[in-house]
Structure 1
Amino acid sequence: MDESKRTALVLGATGGVGGAVARALLAHGWAVRGMARDPGKAAAAARNLANGIEWVKGDAMVQDDVVHAAHGTDVIVHGVNPPGYRDWNKLVLPMIDNTIAAARQAGGARIVLPGTIYNFDPAATPVLHENSPQEPRSRKGAIRKELEARLERAARAGEAPALILRAGDFFGPHVRASWFAQAMVAPGKPVKRLTVLNRGVGHSWAYLPDLAETFARLLSAPDLLRTFERVQFEGMWDPDGHRMPEAIAAAVGRPRLLERAFPWWLMQIAAPLGGFPREAVDILPFWRHPVKLDNSRLVALLDAEPRTLLAEALRATLQGMGCLPGAGTAMRRLAA
C-alpha cells in the first residue's frame, strides 16, 4: 500500500456499490483496500473491474477483522450487506457497530455510507431534503434509520466523522442486485419487453458510476465536509414512470417495447412466506408514491452533480448486462 496516498477501506468491494466506489477512488489516486473472506477469489473477481485493490482476509461480522483491515486508513466505505440479504434485520446493525469500532481505533477514519430512501414515509415526503424527518413505515426503513442514528451519534461524540450519500434505485453496467436488473430487464438477453414497476408514479434512479464519482469527489475534499454530513444525489428523476421505459427502448433502437406490469399482487399473496416477496412488499410504497431527492447540499459542495446523459448511461448499462448485440462476447471476456 502506497503510504503517500490517502487510503480507503471498502467493505463490500466485490458488490455493485462498493465496487463502483472502489473504482472511482482508484481513479482519483486513492490507495484502496478491500476485505473478503476469500481474498484470492475476490481479487480474481475484481481483476477486470477494479485492478489495484489490496485485498485482506476478514469478515464484516467479526469486529477484530474489520479493525485490523482498517488500520492506517483515512476512510471506511460501508458498502457491505448480508449475503443474499438473508437475516438482514439481525446482521445490519452489528456490521455498522463493527465499522464504527474500526474507525475509532483507526484514529477517526471517516465512515461513508450509501444511503437509501427507505428511512422515510414516501406518502408524507414527496421531496426529501437532507433534514427531512425520518418516519419509516417499513421494517427495513426502521433498521436504516437506526443505522444512520448510530453513525450520527458516533460523529457527534468525536469517535469518527461520517458521510451519508443518499440516492434512489441503482442502475449501471455491473449492478446485479437492483430492481433494474432483477425486475425490469433480464440480464444476458436481448431487450424485447420490459417489466414496469411504477406506471404513473414518479421515481428516482441513480446511475451508479455517477454516484461513485460523487463519493470520490466529496472524499477528495474533506475540508468541505461537516463532521456529520448528509448529502443527497438527485440522479435521474422519472416524473411519471414513462421516461425510463422510453429511454430503454431508445437505447436498444426501438420506438417502444412491449410492457407488462410487475406482479405486486403476487408478492402480496406470497409475502407471509418470507423471502423476496416479503422484502418486495416491505418497500412497495416507494413504487406507489413519488419520492424526489433534493441535492442542494451536494451542489453547494461540488458546484454540480456528476451526470451522464441518460441515453449513454443506459447503453453502457445494457451492454454490461449482456443485453445489446455483441455484449455476450464482452461479458465472456470480462469474466475471463
Structure 2
Amino acid sequence: MTKGSTALIIGATGGIGGEVARVLVARGWKVRGLHRDPDAARRRRGDAAIEWVAGDAMDAEAVRRAAAGAALIFHGANPPGYRNWAGLALPMLDNTIAAAKAVGARIVFPGTVYNFGPETFPLVGEDAPQRPLTRKGKIRTEMEARLERAAMTGTPVLLVRAGDFFGPSVGNSWFGQGIVKPGKPVRSLTYPGRREIGHDWAYLPDLAETFARLIERGDELPPFARFHFRGHFFERGVEIAEAVRDVVGWPALPIRGFPWPVFYLAAPFVETFREVLEMRYLWKERLELDNRRLVAFLGEEPHTPLDQAITSTLAGLGCLESAPDATKPLDPARA
C-alpha cells in the first residue's frame, strides 16, 4: 500500500486508533475517522488532517459509506468501559468486514491476549491454541475466526496482538486506571498483579509504528497475516510502577496493591467490575508475547526507551504537573 491511499479508522478517538491515525497522516495517508459526533471528535483530537464523517460503527450502511474509496479499514472500536461486549463487539466487526468486502479494503485489527488461557503461557506464539477462560476472551476468539474466514474469501486481514497499553493517548487502560490517577500529579501508585510475575506492555506509538510498517509492506503479506508485538516486557511486573517512580523523581513512593476486594464486593451490581474480574488471571501468570515472526519480517520491532515512554505517557495523562522533587523525603500524608 502506498502513500496517498485512504484509510478509514474506526475508533480514531481511542488510544490505538488515534495513534495509528497520527502515524498514517505523518506518512502521507489520507485518514478518515468515523464518529457519531464529528465536531466533538474534531475538537477532542485537534487534528485538522483527519477527515471526520458522521456514523455509528453499529450502523452497517454508515460504515460502508465511510469506507468508500478506502484501501484499508483499521478496526479499533471497543465497547466502552468493558460493557456489553456480547451485544456490541461482534456486530461492529461484522459491519467492518462487510464494508471491506464492498470496497475491496484490507482490514487491520489490533488483537489482545484475552484469547489465551494459562496452558499457552509463559511464551505465547501467534499460532498458540486459543482456549479462552472468559466471555470476553471467547468473543475475541470469535472475532479473529470471523476475520480469518473473511481473509479466506478474498478480504485481506492484518492482525497484531499486543499486551496492556500505555502511551500519551492511552485513555481507558490498566496504566491509567490501575497504576496512576489521570489528571493528577503522581502521589501514589498501585499495581494490579503479582509483583514478581512477568507482564507485557505495549507502548502505543511503537505499536502504531509497527502497524504502519506492516501496512506499507502489505503486498508481501499472506491473506491472513498475524503477528505478536512484544513491546516492553518486565520480568518483574511491578517494574513498570517502579519506572514511574524513577521518572517523577520520588524513589520512596509506595506501590500499593490493587483494591481487588472492592471489585468483588461491587461486581454483582456493576457490570464493568465483573468484566475486569474476569481478566484477573492475566495478572497472576507470566505472559510474554513471542515476536520472532514480527522481527523476522520487519528486521526489528519499534521500541522507545522506557524512561521516554513513561514520561510521554504521564504527560499525556496529565500526571506530571508539580511533580515532587527527587531529594524530598516521602510525605505519608500525601501518599
TM-score (norm 2): 0.92
SS at match of 1:273: coil
Q: Is the 8 A contact 2:121 2:285 kept in 1?
A: no
Separation in 2 of the partners of 1:172 and 1:275? 26
Indicate the larger mover: 25-34 or 248-257: 248-257
Q: 1:62 aligns with which of 50, 59, 73?
A: 59
Q: 1:11 aligns to what?
A: 10
Q: Is the 8 A contact 1:123 1:285 kept in 2?
A: no
Q: Does 1:301 align with 2:297?
A: yes
Alpha-carbon deviation of 1:4? 7.4
Alpha-carbon deviation of 1:276? 2.1
Q: 1:229 aligns with which of 225, 231, 235?
A: 225
Q: 2:311 aligns to what?
A: 315
Over 6 Å off, 4+ runs: none
Separation in 2 of the partners of 1:4 and 1:262? 45
RMSD: 1.5
Alignment of structure 1 residues 110-129 onto 2, 5 Å: 110-129=106-125
Q: Which amino acid aligns with 2:168?
A: P
SS at match of 2:268: helix
Q: 2:83 aligns with which of 78, 83, 86?
A: 86
Q: 1:37 aligns to what?
A: 36
Q: 1:333 aligns to what?
A: none
Q: Does 1:184 align with 2:188?
A: no
Indicate the larger mover: 318-327 or 58-67: 318-327
Q: 1:332 aligns to what?
A: none
Relative to structure 1, the CA distance from residue 227 to residue 195 in structure 2 (aligned partners, 3 Å threshold; closer, same or farther) is same
Alignment of structure 1 residues 1-336 onto 2, 5 Å: 5-47=4-46, 50-107=47-104, 109-158=105-154, 160-198=155-193, 199-325=195-321
SS at match of 1:215: helix
Q: Is the 8 A contact 1:161 1:227 kept in 2?
A: yes
Separation in 2 of the partners of 1:124 and 1:320? 34
TM-score (norm 1): 0.92
Alpha-carbon deviation of 1:326? 6.1
Q: 1:334 aligns to what?
A: none
Alpha-carbon deviation of 1:185? 0.1
Separation in 2 of the partners of 1:267 and 1:100? 36
Relative to structure 1, the CA distance from residue 182 to residue 242 in structure 2 (aligned partners, 3 Å threshold; closer, same or farther) is closer
Separation in 2 of the partners of 1:290 and 1:227? 31
Q: Is the 8 A contact 1:11 1:80 kept in 2?
A: yes
Indicate the larger mover: 121-130 or 110-119: 121-130
Q: Which amino acid aligns with 1:187?
A: P
SS at match of 2:250: coil
Q: Is the 8 A contact 2:73 2:107 kept in 1?
A: yes
Separation in 1 of the partners of 2:123 and 2:28? 35
1:248-275 superposed Cα distances (whole Å, 9 cap, x missing partner): 1111012232121002233223323242
Separation in 2 of the partners of 1:105 and 1:245? 46
Q: Is the 8 A contact 1:20 1:212 kept in 2?
A: yes
Separation in 2 of the partners of 1:276 and 1:61? 21
Stretches of structure 2 lacking an aligned partner (at least 5 in a row): 324-335
Aligned length: 321
Q: Is the 8 A contact 1:232 1:294 kept in 2?
A: yes
Q: Is the 8 A contact 2:185 2:322 kept in 1?
A: no
SS at match of 2:267: helix
% identity of equivalent residues: 54
Indicate the larger mover: 93-102 or 236-245: 236-245
1:286-316 superposed Cα distances (whole Å, 9 cap, x missing partner): 0011110001111112100000000010011
Separation in 1 of the partners of 2:223 and 2:66? 23
Q: Which amino acid aligns with 1:223?
A: D
Alpha-carbon deviation of 1:123? 4.7
Separation in 2 of the partners of 1:168 and 1:305? 14
